[in-house]
Copies of this chain bind each other. A is one copy, B any other.
Amino acid sequence: MKASQFFISTLKEAPADAEIASHKLMMRAGMIKRLGAGLYNYMPMGLRVIRKVEGIIRAEMNRAGAVELLMPVVQPAELWQETGRFEKMGPELLRVKDRHGRDFIIQPTSEEVITDIARQELRSYKQLPKNFYHIQTKFRDERRPRFGVMRGREFTMKDAYSFDRDVEAAGRSYENMYQAYCRIFERMGLQYRAVAADTGAIGGDRSHEFQVIAETGEDAIIYSPEGTYAANIELAEALPLLAERAAAAQALTKTPTPGKSTCADVAELLKLPLTQTVKSLVLAADETNEAGEIIKTQVWLLLVRGDHDLNEVKAGKVEGLKGGFRFATVSEIEQHFGCKPGYLGPIGLKRDGEGSVKVVADRTVARMADFVCGANEVDAHYTGANWGRDLPEPDVVADIRNVVAGDPSPDGKGTLAIQRGIEVGHVFYLGTKYSAAMNATYLDENGKPQLMEMGCYGIGVTRILGAAIEQNHDERGIIWPDAIAPFTVVVCPIGMDRSEEVKTAAHKLYQDLLDLGVDVLLDDRGERPGAMFADWELIGVPHRVVISDRGLKEGQVEYQGRRDAAATKLALADVVPHLQQRLK
């Protein structure tokens, strides 16, 4: 490609609404152009990256035996009503009525449509396993779209769906996709980690997020540097930090803590380690009748150590909270604790019958002795609190806190570390959630209908652009990995209009690289060197060759890798072999 036949449009400044590096750089490099909130035009430079990302995904999906098809963007509501998602999903599902007033949705994913295809097309066990995928435009009406392509409303996604005869076969399909995803992100040249994730109501352990490692990532990834353990923070298991509960050594003492309503403040005031304090969080679980009216509310007290945070996903797995919960209101708290929030604790509560509070202690809290907690009295805390002596044992002991760096690894190998990541892919075992709702069955060897076991596998195509940039950029711009760069090599001639030698050498190198199948761009715009170099450093083309009159006089050109500190002088004849070596 020659620059004169392409469209290059860079900006000195990023727009004010661009908050993160990838958003700023994509706008400045002319990769995307804002059309509306969360809506972007993919400009020619950005579209080239998308096509390369799609190409890698497609090649590896096909290699894994998945078959590509294409499902519509606009989908009839009927199918989404079969699974209940038409009603259940919030306003992020964009609903639209056609000219006849019929309901449709703009697809955010395609479980319903693919299950509809499968229940019609996959009739016999002989047709299983089957994995269908498509790469399609999706829409998710985010309440607050931001971060450019990272949380846009319209985006491109690859979604695949596997259909299997039983759980075991579904496990093989899952593993197959897991391996395909590893190859995909490896081929893209991204540093990533596959982390175990929560499966919610479906259960089981078959859910992995593929996270691109980046300091600016929204997600916390928990991993064991010494082992293979990796999970997202919602799932990562927090082991108890105490081997056993020590014997009580202190007397229970009510201490004035005026105005100190956080564990940190209390610990500081009392000159005690924060790890001696216990944090109280009050939840409420409503029981409703068929009409959706609340008929009963149970109040719960959840206790984590003062330096720990509650993990709401884990809390949602506690028996009694599985059906959903919310934070208790101030009036509910005052009614049950006789005190306003800030000084709450587990001592002196009604633990049974009408108006009782159920107490859940984190595994570590359950083993603490002589701990500090709120006294259920404004401006007062207890010290020297002990289970069994000062208050009944907790109703439930469970892992309800977020892991923190330094926690022991659940696989027994050293301690856990935390890094940030950006989720770009997700493999998920669905079980029969959709096949049961939509009656998607196949006939087994005995001619008996059986529900299909399903898995779904997504990759955020456009999101990968943002994630790759968050991981790979510097103060000058983007640094694309070779495999997904808009161009792999840029040839920058200096003064091509003045020097026939430069022009000839530049065109020859360009043609030689094209002939070798290298994705090369010849910058024939005639820009001054400074502007030209700034453009390509901003755009992030990984390999640059500069051809100048002065260099040619010495038979030399300059090669510079985008990450190289300085340029390398090469004989003109050595450039192609050098590039071939670098591109391997």
A residues with a Cβ closer than 8 A to B are: 5-7, 9, 33, 35-36, 39-44, 47, 50, 65, 67-76, 78, 91-92, 94-96, 98-99, 104, 106, 113, 116-117, 120-121, 130, 132, 137, 139, 141, 143, 153-154
With A73-B154, A76-B39, A117-B41 already in contact, the answer to whether A68 and B47 are too (CB < 8 A) is yes
Q: Which residue of B lies closest to A30 (CB)?
A: B121
Q: Which residue of B lies closest to A462 (CB)?
A: B70
Instruction: Evaluate contact between A68 and B44: CB separation under 8 angstroms.
Output: yes
Instruction: Evaluate contact between A41 and B113: CB separation under 8 angstroms.
Output: yes
Q: CB within 8 A of A67: which of B6, B69, B120, B143?
A: B6
Instruction: Evaluate contact between B72 and A40: CB separation under 8 angstroms.
Output: yes
Residues of B within 8 A of A47 (CB): 68-70
> What's the dominant secondary structure at chain A's contact region?
mixed
Instruction: Evaluate contact between B65 and A5: CB separation under 8 angstroms.
Output: yes
Q: CB within 8 A of A71: which of B41, B74, B76?
A: B41
With A96-B96, A106-B96 already in contact, the answer to whether A72 and B41 are too (CB < 8 A) is yes
Instruction: Evaluate contact between B98 and A96: CB separation under 8 angstroms.
Output: no
Q: CB within 8 A of A98: which of B40, B137, B141?
A: B141
Instruction: Evaluate contact between A70 and B42: CB separation under 8 angstroms.
Output: yes
A95 to B98, CA, bound (A): 8
Q: CB within 8 A of A106: which of B69, B106, B130, B132?
A: B106
Q: Which of A9, A40, A70, A94 has the most CB of B within 10 A?
A: A70
A13 to B345, CA, bound (A): 72
A1 to B304, CA, bound (A): 57
Residues of B within 8 A of A154 (CB): 72-74
**5 A-B interface contacts by CB (under 8 A):** A33-B117, A33-B120, A74-B154, A94-B98, A98-B141
Closest Cβ–Cβ distance, residue A519 to chain B (whole Å): 13
Closest Cβ–Cβ distance, residue A249 to chain B (whole Å): 57
A39 to B73, CA, bound (A): 9
A42 to B69, CA, bound (A): 6
With A43-B69, A130-B7, A137-B137 already in contact, the answer to whether A106 and B74 are too (CB < 8 A) is yes
Instruction: Evaluate contact between A44 and B72: CB separation under 8 angstroms.
Output: no
Closest Cβ–Cβ distance, residue A45 to chain B (whole Å): 9
Closest Cβ–Cβ distance, residue A98 to chain B (whole Å): 5
Instruction: Evaluate contact between A72 and B39: CB separation under 8 angstroms.
Output: yes
A36 to B33, CA, bound (A): 34
With A94-B96, A96-B94, A96-B96 already in contact, the answer to whether A44 and B69 are too (CB < 8 A) is yes
A357 to B113, CA, bound (A): 58
Residues of B within 8 A of A40 (CB): 72
With A69-B47, A130-B7 already in contact, the answer to whether A139 and B41 are too (CB < 8 A) is no
Q: Which residue of B lies closest to A141 (CB)?
A: B99
A67 to B47, CA, bound (A): 10
A71 to B34, CA, bound (A): 10
A206 to B93, CA, bound (A): 43
Residues of B within 8 A of A153 (CB): 74, 98
Instruction: Evaluate contact between A70 and B98: CB separation under 8 angstroms.
Output: no
